Amino acid sequence: MALIYCPECRKEISDTSDSCPHCGFKIKKYLKKHILCESCGRFYPKVDEFCKSCNPHRLTTFQKLMRFFALLIAVPLFLLMLFNDEKSSSGVKLQPTVNAGPNPSIKAAEIQPQSYRTFTESDFSFDSKTRPYKDIIVKGVNKYLLLC
């Protein structure tokens, strides 16, 4: 027999009693679905792995692995996007590569690469709603035309 605190009124009661003598809370029914935390003395549901009252930031092994793999994927993607943005905003124009194919009579020097026009803010008319986004719009149009 051990003394526990009633979850309802917080007064000491026996863990073998059916209900709390102070407030009438059904303690037996409650103990079937809850576990008493040894470190903080509070009850937590049996479906939880640990008491969230005394250690709310503790992660399970699965959660740790998921965060690790998410970072493992997200960091290279972020660096790739950053590298591509620096390359396109540095003024370097990417020229399309020409594959001469099976016809060896066409030389790569004879084929003229396409020239790309870079748009500026003066090429667009912005109203009061789109003016805050003008840099993003111009950059996006230039990037889109570069990919086409």
The pLDDT assigned to 63 comes to: 81
Choice between 10 and 104, residue whose per-residue pLDDT is larger: 10
More confident residue, 2 or 71: 71
Yes or no: say if 21 and 32 are a contact pair by the CB < 8 Å rule.
Answer: no
**Domain definitions of the chain by residue range:** 3-45, 114-148
Q: Quick one: pLDDT band at residue 100, thresholds 50, 70, 90?
A: very low
pTM to 2 decimals? 0.33
Compute the C-alpha angle 28/29/32, nearest 5°. Answer: 90
Predicted local confidence at residue 121, as pLDDT: 80
With contact defined as beta carbons under 8 Å apart, do 140 and 133 qualify? no
> How far apart are alpha carbons 109 and 123 in whole angstroms?
33
What does the block give as tokens for 30? 């409650």
Pick from 33, 38, 62, 63: which is nearest to 48 by CA?
33
13 with 21: CB under 8 angstroms?
Answer: yes
Tell me, what's the pLDDT at 115? 60
Report pLDDT digits (tens) over 8-38: 888 888 888 888 898 988 888 888 888 888 7
